[in-house]
Structures are given as structure tokens and as C-alpha cells.
Chain A
Amino acid sequence: MRDNKATGAAPDRSRRAFVLVLPLMAIGGMLATVAIAAFRFLSPTVSASSEKWIDVAQVTELVGNKPLPRKIAVEEVAGWARSFAEHSVYILPGKNSQVLSAVCPHEGCEVSWHDDGNVFSCPCHDSNFAADGSRIYGPARRGLDPLPSRVVDGKLQVQYQSFINNTQERTSRG
């Protein structure tokens, strides 16, 4: 179109340009349409982290002075599938019953409590954490991740979250 004006004196050249530009525009249009649809189609489905409160323990069970290991079943929705995944948590002794995720903030293995050293220790890369979850040594870059918890009707409940591995600050995956 632009070429028509510019080369009005040479209709042959403008026709040739038109003959080139028009199919290129058509191909571009088709490709762009498909590309936009493909981009929308493939964009990931992000589900917000669950707000559900999950029972972890009866308050009456919370005795002793050691972290108490528990397993909870957390519902996870991934697109067309819904499943329950098992996650380990530790309930810390003390009045407010802080709940820690047992997932090591380094590479995501599961830490275990060791009575002899009074530490949480990760079997994968030997990260060690104190009884309150704070980092002692090892490749982990932060302490164990605390989870929101509350007491309702004599039950300790927790909201499960998972966090991005291997970062200093705590970022929820949800």
C-alpha cells in the first residue's frame, strides 16, 4: 500500500511488492493467531496455597520436651488431578506449640530429630538445625520453616505451606 504511493510510476514494481507483502501479512496473521492461542493455552495453572486448617494433634498429646513428629495429609490440586500428599511436621515443645515443616530448606529432603545432639539433621547434605529450628551449620541458607498454626476445640491445627528451596528469605510456593 505504501509502495503504491511511492512507486506510482512503476506499477510493475509496486505490484511485485504487493504480491510479496500480502502473503507475508497473511502468513504473519495466521502465525500470530496460533501463537497467541498457544501462549494462553500453555500458561501454567497456578493454584493458591491451601487455606485449609489440618488437624495435627490433640492438645492433650502435647507433652514432653522434645519436638513431636507428625504426618499430615495435604490436598494438592494440579490442573485436572487432585491428590493427597503426605508431609512431615514437627510440633515444638512449649506453650505456643510452634509447628515446623520437616522439609529441609536446602534441597527439600526431610530432616529428622536427634535426641543425642538435640538437633534436627538432614540426611541428604548434613544441614543441622537447633531445637527451635534455627540453622546451626550446613548448606541450608535459612532455618526450618514455621507453619501457621492455631488451637481450636482442643486440637492443634496447621495450614500447610511449602517454600522455595535454597534461598535465604522464605517465599511461599503458593
Chain B
Amino acid sequence: MTNEHVEACVPLDISDGDVYEAMKEISGYLDITPADFKEVYLKAYQHALQRLTQSVRVAEVMTKQVATVGPNTPLRAVAELMSERGVSGVPVIDADRRVVGVVSDKDFLSHMGTGEAQTLMDLVAECLRGSGCVAKPIRQKYASDIMTSPAITISEDSSVLEAADLLVKKGINRIPVVDPEGKLVGIVARADVVRSAPPRGWT
């Protein structure tokens, strides 16, 4: 996985001529040809990028103030919390702060109306067809009724690159971060990963 992500960052483009000029600035004989040096440089650049990207831990980029709900939180309270905090998903935790699932806007969509809506527009269309209140099927339900479980979690010591890989492979937008005992310590969203990426042209 790592190489695909890392190679997306274009290394500084240097030519044999640049190396030749640089070698002239170093006094003393250098036992390497400009072409070989360039090859070593490009490979070393990839190694450096990989090292730096992997050295950033999830714990350094995650959001620590996580909005959470319990398995028995009514869905109305869940929706209000998500709305208030402007998030599209919340971890569901038990009394020991262990993550038992995640409720996301997608879980709401797929349980509302006739239960077949995949997107917001599916639901709007259903609503306009006049089949009554689309929230009715979940009005009396709780977080545990619609949450995705078991939750995909990541340890706080994992690298950001691993988090990015998990986000892409599982097609999810956020991953609860847990400590070695499995207790919730934060959440890492796609935006957190993007912000942690080294700027383009970084050398």
C-alpha cells in the first residue's frame, strides 16, 4: 500500500547536469557517476518520504474531543448531537468507553423510509411521493438498532498512512482511535489525514 501513496508525491526533478554541477562544488574526487548519483538520490527521496509519512502517528492528527453516544441513546438524541457538532458519524461506546459500533448518516438513511434509501436524494424522493414521515420507522429506536457493528478501529500508535489505507479500503469516513485496552481516545477523519500530508514540493 505504502508505495502507491508515497509515489504520488513527485520528487524534486533533478538532471544529470544538476548533479554534475553539484559535484563540481565539492572539492575532492567523488567515486560515483552523475547518473548513478541521480538514481541513488531518487530512491533515497522515496525512502525519506516514506519514513516521514509513516513517522506521523494517528495520535498526532486525531480529534480528541469526540462526540459519543451509548447503545441506548435514542436516535433523536443521536441526530441532534450529530447536527449540533456538525459531524457525519459518532462512535457508540459502552460504559467502559469501549467502542461497540459507529452510527453514521448512512445508517440513518438506510433505516428510514422503506429502508431502501442509500442517499439523501433517495429519501427526499420517497418523502415527496407522499408516503408519510420517513423518520417514522426509527422514531422509537436506539443507537444500537442502526449502528454499524463491530466498529473498525485503529490504535493510536498506528501511522497516518495506515489510517488512510483503512479509510480507502473500507470506504468509511472516520475511524475511532483506541488505546491498547480498546478504549476510545479519539477519532481520525479523512480531513485529519489530508491535513497531515506533507505539502507538495516539500524537500
Q: Are A and B interaction partners?
A: no
Binding site for B on A (CB under 8 A): none
